[in-house]
Structure 1
Amino acid sequence: MDLDAYVAEHAGEWRRLEELLGRRRLTGSESDELIALYQRAATHLSAVQSRAPDPALVGRLSRLVARARSAVTGSSAPSWLTFARFFTVGFPVAVYRAWPWWCGVATAFSAVSFGLIAWFGTHPELAAQLAPESALRQLVEHDFADYYSENPAQDFAAQVWTNNALIAALCVFAGVLIVPLIIVLINNAVGVGEVGGVMVAYGKADVFFGLITPHGLLELTAVFVAAGAGLRIGWSWIAPGPGRTRAQALAETSRAAVLIALGLVVVLAISGVIEAFVTPSGLPTWARIGIGVVAFGGFLTYVFVLGRRAALAGETGDLALGEREDFAPAV
């Protein structure tokens, strides 16, 4: 490539592009011209880089193309604004719009767990059949309470957070098949009910509820939200609703569910800290439960205040229009 000839041939286009970029307002025809010149300048930059990479010319064209790209595509919002919008709009509205699903999951889960606790608690002979007497005594007198303090608090918090995040992710993404998620929920509800029933049957109801309530309110709510989002995904391809194809419905609910899953990482981190540092602490039972109730109430207030406000403003928890899927025109 004869670099001097190439510059002489296209310098006029580059000057014109710089001129348009320097203007505050452009007419419609000038905007079209700017886009065309930007595309040509990008081609020129590629040609120079591959054939005659003169550092000065490459630098000039790179700056010109970058300015033009910014003018054509618009500048993106600062990352901190995107982060703030996620927690003030995106996450709460996605959780709020899915509330019938996760409230339904919470109701069914609680009915199974508390039903089993009451059943085994009032029928000690049935509780005694769940495991050998020695194993049940070990659970009631040592294992259940020791679980919360047998490891360093910071290690235990990380372990709990990781485990619960995996469970929440499983709930979200297994929801598309519905049945596996229901099995997971039933197994966990039965597990909580059996352990609670044994503790109640052996006269340790205060220990059970005193230890599980501080962190369990927020932790289980996060799992319920994840499960509700998962079931919503599964139902979207069964009944997509009017005006949507199954693919569209599945895509929309899946994007909202991913938003929920990301937000629950923080919620589960908070519940993990409570479980590691508050649950096994020497605070009175009423104080430990009070901390759990405050965290639980704060989450619900956050979701139903910010989420409802965003929903009334027309937010859906989905991606911005320009970031969603494109559709090919059809006759």
Structure 2
Amino acid sequence: MDAEAFAAVHSDEWDELEQLLRRRQLSGAQADRLVLLYQRAATHLSQVRSSGGDPAVAAHLSRLVARARTRIAGAREPAWRDLVRFVTTSFPAALWRVRWWTAGAAAFTLVVAAATAVWIVRDPAVLASLGTPEELRQYVESDFAGYYSADPAAAFSARVWTNNAWIAAQCVIFGISGFWVPWALFQNGLNVGVAAGLMISYGQGPLFFGLILPHGLLELTSVFVAAGAGLKLFWALVDPGPRPRTRALAEEGRGLVTVALGLVVVLALSGVVEGFVTPSGLPTWARIGIGALALGSFLAYGGVLGRRATRRGETGDVREEQREAVQPVAG
């Protein structure tokens, strides 16, 4: 498409549309004309984008079409529609796009935790280096389990939520650095492995898993998702593919914000489980079952809705009309 010729042919209609948008009051005929010009401008915008036309022309038309849509509709869409779109489309799509990065973060953390636990269990010297026999026994017999019931459930849930949200936020904020996320995952895996090794060494493995799994299944998965999103942003910097690096970072960064916002709710749910279910008097199988159900629901949500959304071209980014105009690229 010859962008200059296309603009020359249609610029009079675009100018007329812009003039009508500047008017506070429109007659019936002018309102009809506004709708007609809006429809034409929307068609022109689609033609420019599909043919790889001038980004400047596309940006001008995008703003013009957005203003006209707002004027015709009277106001922007209700906030509840944005919320519904976020829950059913944006967040699941973002989860689906980082699924392999999430799996990698989970595998790395679990390997570190398992290796640490095995090292402690098999090497008495390592176990002894963690504290005196009295300190270790107190941790195993009272401190570990007491942690979950020392405070009122509501207060404990809130504290857990903010702590986990902070860990996830670190993965989001510093993910682009490339080194922070692996370090945070290593530290997290090390802490879990030390606790597991201590409890198993003293014959309290069932108690450890009975207390950690009800909330840990969803909680750790949320951290893995945040880590995966942070790593994906870093990789967009290293290998943006056919996209310009700045565009790749902008698109992945907006998807990262979508992940962060969604995880606030997921981590709140895991905090509720940790505060009310983990220390409850329910049988171990029931507590673990609740945790497994929460995790299964989250995975099904991201898997089913996320796959559907990405097949429709969704990425977790904002609406198309809210993005900047970009030059089409091959690949």
Query: Normalization by structure 2: what TM-score?
Result: 0.79
Change in 2 beyond 3 A, CA 1:15/1:88? closer
Conservation of the 8 A alpha-carbon contact between 1:20 and 1:30: no
After superposition, give the CA deviation of every residue in 1:67-121 in whole Å (9 maximum; x if it has no partner): 9884357642211111011011100110111111011000111111012222222
Change in 2 beyond 3 A, CA 1:27/1:102? closer
From 10, 18, 35, the equivalent of 2:27 is 18
Report SS of the residue matched to 1:165.
Answer: helix
- In 2, distance between residues paired with 1:147 and 1:172? 28
- In 2, distance between residues paired with 1:310 and 1:178? 28
What amino acid is the match of 2:294? A
Change in 2 beyond 3 A, CA 1:22/1:146? same
Conservation of the 8 A alpha-carbon contact between 1:215 and 1:275: yes
- How many equivalent pairs are there? 282
CA RMSD of aligned residues (A): 2.6
Task: Give, in angstroms, the shift of residue 188 of structure 1.
Answer: 1.2
- In 2, distance between residues paired with 1:124 and 1:14? 82
Conservation of the 8 A alpha-carbon contact between 1:124 and 1:201: no
Structure having the higher Rg: 1
Matched with 2:84 is 84
Conservation of the 8 A alpha-carbon contact between 2:102 and 2:229: yes
- Is residue 2:249 matched to residue 1:240? no
What amino acid is the match of 1:169? A
Task: Give, in angstroms, the shift of residue 17 of structure 1.
Answer: 2.1
- In 2, distance between residues paired with 1:131 and 1:214? 28
Conservation of the 8 A alpha-carbon contact between 2:172 and 2:229: yes
Task: Give, in angstroms, the shift of residue 324 of structure 1.
Answer: 1.7
- In 2, distance between residues paired with 1:276 and 1:29? 54
After superposition, give the CA deviation of every residue in 1:202-223 in whole Å (9 maximum; x if it has no partner): 1110111100000000000000
- In 1, distance between residues paired with 2:38 and 2:286? 69
- In 2, distance between residues paired with 1:116 and 1:15? 69
Query: Normalization by structure 1: what TM-score?
Result: 0.79
After superposition, give the CA deviation of every residue in 1:15-47 in whole Å (9 maximum; x if it has no partner): 982333554985449999xxxxxxxxxxxxxxx
Conservation of the 8 A alpha-carbon contact between 2:120 and 2:197: yes
Matched with 1:41 is none
Matched with 1:170 is 170
Conservation of the 8 A alpha-carbon contact between 1:171 and 1:226: yes
- In 1, distance between residues paired with 2:135 and 2:185? 25
Matched with 2:104 is 104
Change in 2 beyond 3 A, CA 1:16/1:288? closer
Task: Give, in angstroms, the shift of residue 273 of structure 1.
Answer: 0.3
- In 2, distance between residues paired with 1:30 and 1:318? 25
Conservation of the 8 A alpha-carbon contact between 2:173 and 2:230: yes
Matched with 2:301 is 302
Which range moves more in the overlay, 95-104 or 180-189?
A: 180-189
Matched with 2:63 is none
Alignment of 1:1-331 (within 5 A): 17-20=26-29, 23=32, 26-28=35-37, 70-71=70-71, 75-242=75-242, 244-326=243-325
- In 2, distance between residues paired with 1:15 and 1:190? 64
- In 2, distance between residues paired with 1:14 and 1:236? 44
- In 2, distance between residues paired with 1:110 and 1:14? 62
After superposition, give the CA deviation of every residue in 1:245-301 in whole Å (9 maximum; x if it has no partner): 111111111100100000000100100000000000000101000000000111101
List alignment gaps of at least 5 residues for structure 1: 1-12, 33-66
* Percent sequence identity over aligned pairs: 50
Change in 2 beyond 3 A, CA 1:205/1:73? same
Task: Give, in angstroms, the shift of residue 181 of structure 1.
Answer: 1.8
After superposition, give the CA deviation of every residue in 1:143-169 in whole Å (9 maximum; x if it has no partner): 100000000000000110111111101
Conservation of the 8 A alpha-carbon contact between 2:108 and 2:185: no
Conservation of the 8 A alpha-carbon contact between 2:35 and 2:72: no
Task: Give, in angstroms, the shift of residue 138 of structure 1.
Answer: 1.4
Task: Give, in angstroms, the shift of residue 327 of structure 1.
Answer: 5.7
- In 1, distance between residues paired with 2:165 and 2:275? 15
- In 2, distance between residues paired with 1:255 and 1:177? 17
Conservation of the 8 A alpha-carbon contact between 1:21 and 1:68: no
- In 1, distance between residues paired with 2:206 and 2:39? 76
